[in-house]
A and B are shown apart, each in its own frame.
Chain A
């Protein structure tokens, strides 16, 4: 008991003497474990938030949808559902009229979108709308021109809660509130017909069924039925019965029955979690690894400083376990404090992460509690690390003869180290002014340990910040490619294939705001080569088009122009042939066929889905003389907004999007990654600063006896400080260079392995900006070099005789 009390007192004094260092190392561990818990906890957040949000709004289990343009009499679909054998399993059923539309509003708002009218009969809600601003629709709104605007669309366009909007056909709707509904938590390219559609450029308006019917002139008509089933019901069986009933309906219906899993937003929101987690895990492990290495380094060096006392204990014949107790208690202090602070850091990191996700993935319910299990994993590591760090120096101390361990100045140079390298190298200054360089080389192990600590921090920082550079560079490349000519053009998609010389194209071309029209085709396709397949948005570029892809290889004519990433993923090059599955027009409609196509060229857009073929090579599509994509150039003096507004009045125009909007959509598509990476970069910056200062401070502590000797010889404190600064700056430079190289190597490795798995559709090339390199070097050299200045006070107050007597 007396021994335990002695150890406890001793440990407490150690803690008081080194509280700043213990706290700093604990904070390093906390940043690592907290970030790990914070980043990996986001998967559970998203799953829990998805579950809660989809449940809150009674997301449909089954949906019966008529083909585009088709409607049926109101009540017909509900009657079919009510007549199936398992009708009792249906807990809610709502008929709807879902119609594509154009939406025009204040401040030049003009976007494609949907009008979703849901029957307002009493009964259980299906695919409800969670109101985020204003009010929801009530029975009094049934048939009146009132609508709730999709919340993300409204927010991103700055739409007021009471704005007035005009939809296709000229009907006006008054917005009474903003809200969210499960099918539109996210919008996808398929909804708008063009790739990279963001919620800003795709509007959804929720109305009562009667309002939608009156706004679209489809009185008493519906085209959609959504159903919820009781828990435990056999969804497939009910779906099968519904299909059977639809087939048996008279007059016949060409409806499709889909399930909740077919909702794009539902599928993507859940599927993305796994993919994103892979990347977050890498980032989290990177931060944790950096923190772990630093904690190991720092703790090891502190315990190394106790090695002489371990030697004294050995001389007294102290048992090994007893020698280990004190360092272990030190480890326990660091561990406990680290894990405790980790909870705080985990919570703090969660705040900006929560902001990123709430902003990027608008759900009505966000559940973001600290994930205890994930934190426990990190905490276990955070707890184990200091003990591991203690074990190494204790083991080292116990391995040597006690007389070695007890020797004063065991941390000092034993030999000349790498100093002989300098024999022929002229050094600046004379005598003691050359000490910093010699010190660095005479104690290569200590110098290497310090440099390693700094390098670990810089590597983590460079990798994380490099990810931002890489993504931004990728987007810049995409933007440069899409906007290299005719940047103000408007891409207009049509709701079907129209004759190139028909009324629609003629009407568009005749608009006074329009300077020119290129008629092309946009066809969803799949390119295959062996077992490999890549989804393509295949654009047929007409001859003389104002915008054409640039080429990095091959030529634009004579076949398919693929993105470099697509070509690499397919394992093909210019001159090779790929099988392209694409729509082909026949006398009875469209069918999917497979056509071998030669790869004629490669373009530099990192988005692999963009593929092009010249008009003359479009014969396989059977769509000669047809168009569903117009590239419109504004007339001189007219802006792209004016063009889009004018297009509102043109029938069969499904969407009109500027080229910039496409690049904005691209940026939006990775904004979540960028947002999270910014948080991680901030943490690693803090981590790097902390590690750099700690490492340097410990290094300065280790030199205290030498400093005392210099002061004893009458050197002024500022000179001693200057020499220390030069020494740490030298080590910092080595550490920073190693860190930048290590970070770049890590970045290259991750962009070659992990990123393609997480984001296969984007060709990401590792890139480091000059700013990142400068920042890393500045941190590694300046911060480290300045760290000794914080010890200036201690140096001036140094008890020289005491320091000289024994270095503990």
Chain B
């Protein structure tokens, strides 16, 4: 046992204290592909210190998904420091990182990543259960109703449309009640109308006090963000409010 690692109660206490804070300092993430080094992220510094709706914008290959994975503790940086809710992820053990993911962040994936062997209700119940929510079955039904899938509780993933699957994935993330939501191209596989519905759901979460970070290549989506961070070739090239001010979701077109 590494004596320098914090105990679970200590981690939990600090999670409560520093809730949704995200700090990335000089983060680099390099991959070696066919002998060549690809710099997915290079000297990235990013700080999110209050609940907000953040959009990370960038073209394909700009490093935005890598950034999201590193923030959520799914991947580790090659160098630099990542602190999430007060915990240094780069120094954390696997178990500590897992615990932070369980208590702090929730993921929404572009390809949904639902468990095909579970129904919609069970997928959501799984998320609530993992996060330690009481009565996960009840929570699952409630959250599915909130996302408009109350009638689809017993359907399997393959019996749902793409938009419905993404809403189940969001419901699973919401059921954890974790303060940070990380969404990787959540509208990438959806039509405009369904995409807008999803964005509304996510915006509502930010309004309710969560930090929502959405990764997208769709510049239109960035118009509804509180803050837009633009990535290019692994560097942050812009960071601030949307150009022209925040738009209403109803004003979006793509």
A residues adjacent to B (C-beta < 8 A): 2-3, 6, 9-10, 13-14, 17, 308-309, 312-320, 322, 398, 401-403, 406, 408, 415, 802, 805-806, 808
Contact = CB atoms under 8 A, between A and B. Distances in A.
Contacts, number: 86
A2 B115 contact: no
Interface string B115-126: 111100010011
Contacts of A13: 117-118
Contacts of B73: 402
B129 A6 contact: yes
B113 interface: yes
Given A2-B136, A6-B125, A6-B126, A314 B98 contact: yes
B130 A318 contact: yes
Interface stretch (B10-18, B100-108, B214-222): B100-108
B127 interface: yes
Contact of B158 (A3, A403, A408, A802): A802
Most B CB within 10 A of own CB, among A17, A316, A320: A316
Contact of A316 (B107, B117, B135): B107
B125 A312 contact: no
Nearest to B118: A10
A312 B98 CA distance: 12
Most B CB within 10 A of own CB, among A9, A319, A401: A401
Contacts of A309: 115-116
Given A6-B126, A401-B75, A403-B75, A317 B158 contact: no
A-B pairs with lowest CB-CB distance, top 8? A317-B102, A317-B101, A403-B74, A402-B74, A403-B75, A403-B69, A312-B113, A13-B117
Contacts of A322: 130
B74 A3 contact: no
B117 A401 contact: no
Nearest to A408: B111
Contacts of B111: 408, 805-806
Nearest to A308: B113
Nearest to A314: B98
B117 A10 contact: yes
A3 B129 contact: yes
Interface residues of B, number: 39
A interface SS class: helix
A117 to B, nearest CB: 78
A415 B34 contact: yes
Contacts of B126: 6, 316
Given A406-B74, A806-B116, 8 more contacts: A6-B125, A10-B122, A315-B72, A316-B130, A317-B99, A403-B69, A406-B109, A802-B158
Given A6-B129, A808-B116, A315 B176 contact: no
Interface in B63-100: 69, 72-76, 94-95, 98-100
Most A CB within 10 A of own CB, among B73, B103, B113, B158: B113
Contacts of B103: 317
B118 A318 contact: no
Nearest to B70: A403
Interface of B: 34, 69, 72-76, 94-95, 98-103, 105-107, 109, 111-113, 115-118, 122, 125-127, 129-131, 135-137, 158, 172, 176
Contact of B100 (A317, A320, A401, A805): A317
A6 B115 contact: no
Nearest to B66: A403
20 contacts: A6-B118, A6-B122, A10-B117, A10-B118, A10-B122, A13-B118, A315-B109, A316-B106, A316-B131, A317-B100, A317-B130, A320-B98, A322-B130, A402-B74, A403-B74, A406-B74, A415-B34, A802-B158, A805-B111, A808-B116
A408 B189 CA distance: 15
A244 to B, nearest CB: 79
Contact of A406 (B102, B113, B131): B113
A158 to B, nearest CB: 64
A573 B131 CA distance: 80
A146 to B, nearest CB: 76
A310 to B, nearest CB: 11
A14 B136 CA distance: 22
Nearest to B76: A401
A802 to B, nearest CB: 6
A312 B117 CA distance: 13
Contacts of B105: 317
A9 B121 CA distance: 13
Nearest to A401: B75
A402 B113 CA distance: 13
Nearest to A14: B117
Contact of A9 (B34, B112, B122): B122
Contacts of A14: 117
A805 B105 CA distance: 25
Contacts of B94: 398
B38 to A, nearest CB: 14
Most A CB within 10 A of own CB, among B99, B115, B137: B115
Contacts of B136: 2-3
A13 B118 CA distance: 8
B158 A312 contact: no
A318 B102 contact: yes
Nearest to A312: B113
Nearest to A11: B117
A3 B129 CA distance: 7
Contacts of A401: 74-76
Nearest to B113: A312
A320 B98 CA distance: 9
Most B CB within 10 A of own CB, among A13, A14, A17: A13
A302 to B, nearest CB: 13
Contacts of A319: 98, 102, 130
A10 B118 CA distance: 6
Contacts of A314: 74, 98, 101
A584 to B, nearest CB: 82
A9 B69 CA distance: 31
A317 B98 contact: yes
Nearest to B102: A317
A331 to B, nearest CB: 16
A402 B172 CA distance: 18
Most B CB within 10 A of own CB, among A14, A17, A312: A312
A517 to B, nearest CB: 85
Given A2-B129, A17-B117, A309-B115, A315 B99 contact: no
Nearest to A326: B117
Nearest to B103: A317
Given A2-B136, A415-B34, A316 B74 contact: no
A727 B76 CA distance: 37
B21 to A, nearest CB: 18
Contacts of A10: 115, 117-118, 122
A415 B135 CA distance: 46
Contacts of A806: 111-113, 116
Contacts of B129: 2-3, 6
Nearest to B172: A316
A806 B117 CA distance: 13
A322 B118 CA distance: 15
Contacts of A308: 113
B119 to A, nearest CB: 9
Nearest to B156: A13
A134 B130 CA distance: 76
Given A316-B102, A316-B176, A317-B99, A2 B74 contact: no
Contacts of B116: 309, 806, 808
Nearest to B72: A315
B102 to A, nearest CB: 3
A401 B176 CA distance: 22
A415 B34 CA distance: 8
Nearest to A306: B117
A309 B129 CA distance: 16
B157 to A, nearest CB: 9
